[in-house]
Amino acid sequence: MYVLGIESSCDETSVSVVKDGKTILSNIVSSSLQLHKKYGGVVPEIASRMQLETISKVADCAIRQAGIKLEALNLVSVTNGPGLSGSLLVGISFAKSVSLCLGIPLLGINHLESHIYANFLNQRDIKLPCVALVVSGGHTSLFYLQGFTKIETLGQTLDDAAGEAFDKVAKLLGMGYPGGPLIEKLARLGDSKKIKFKCSGTRGAFDFSFSGIKTAVLYYAQRNMQNAKHAQAYADIAASFQETVIDTLIDKTISAAWSKKVRSILVGGGVAVNSRLREKFFQASKAKGLNCFFPPKELCLDNAAMVAGLGYQLFRQGRISSLGLSLELN
């Protein structure tokens, strides 16, 4: 079964063809990131305009690279939320027209669930149930996964997402956007034990809060960095901040795995690209006798292969959307 996946929830426009939910035949990603850099974050109007300008070309390219005829497609699977509404609408409208023109079914997909599914692409076989952590620029959520149609939210961020905290800390240290990769690079040169930061406590054991640590970094920088021109001081802040966020993510995910009595942890989303997060997650899981899985780095960021793959699984379990498919922003 050939599924056309479409992802347009933020600043990436991606179209993919996936065979039988696992084999990626093409996965084209075009990003408008460069246009947002000078504003220090994604500008929704620019993002949706670029979605509109690129989606047909990206789709053409994905079909050509997959080496199949349009008529071979059996399903069109599209992200319908959460995300930026203007951007999502472009992908949804495009998917509806493909469905109508080719006479194939349409299926709306949740963006966070597709980030989890990235772990199952490329023939990877992971035993369920498990606990899944999605860490991206817009979300930080913990799920209990019993099946692709049985996903329970255990907790989520009460304020900023983890990726958003990386982005904001980078900005207040005078670095560019997106901040995650820049903080990761700078942190390699720093001492993570130099400054004692802490993530705020939450009433729910599996909820997160990252806006407090961002403010703590701001106050620390204002107090100590006035005359500190040497790079080492910045690297120490980056390393101490990154380590605290990573330790919080790992502690909560491992305790969720223990409380649900599962043996496997899945991680997904843009922050899952972070090498220090990957390394520490593998170490901590192993020490607790748990298995930990990450998608390959290129499948952690927004892409349509994860949307096509999850679409295949859900369709086989009877899910289908009508042409009235609308946005689901929460």
Point out which residues bind ligand KG4 (CB under 6 A): 10, 136-138, 163-164, 166-167, 178-181, 184, 269-271, 273-274, 301-302
DSSP for 257-293, please give it: HHHHT-SEEEEESGGGG-HHHHHHHHHHHHHTT-EEE
Minimum gap (Å) between residue 7 Cβ and Zn ion: 8
Minimum gap (Å) between residue 151 Cβ and ligand KG4: 17
Minimum gap (Å) between residue 150 Cβ and ligand KG4: 23
Q: Which neighbouring-strand residues pair with 37? A: none
CB 328 within 8 A of CB 110: yes
| Cβ proximity to ligand KG4, 5 vs 269, nearer residue | 269
CB 142 within 8 A of CB 132: yes
Among ligand KG4, Zn ion, none, residue 273 binds (CB under 5-8 Å by kind): ligand KG4
Minimum gap (Å) between residue 224 Cβ and ligand KG4: 23
Q: Is residue 164 a contact point for Zn ion (CB under 5 A)?
A: no
| Cβ proximity to ligand KG4, 109 vs 262, nearer residue | 109
In the DSSP assignment, the letter for residue 70 is G
Minimum gap (Å) between residue 103 Cβ and ligand KG4: 32
Q: Which of 106, 123, 99, 117 is nearest to 22 (CA)?
A: 123
CB 152 within 8 A of CB 143: yes
Among ligand KG4, Zn ion, none, residue 5 binds (CB under 5-8 Å by kind): none
Where residue 103 falls (left for φ over 0; alpha for ψ -120 to 50; beta otherwise) is: left
Candidate list 136, 140, 242, 264; residue touching Zn ion; CB under 5 A: 136
Residues contributing to the site for Zn ion (CB under 5 A): 136, 302
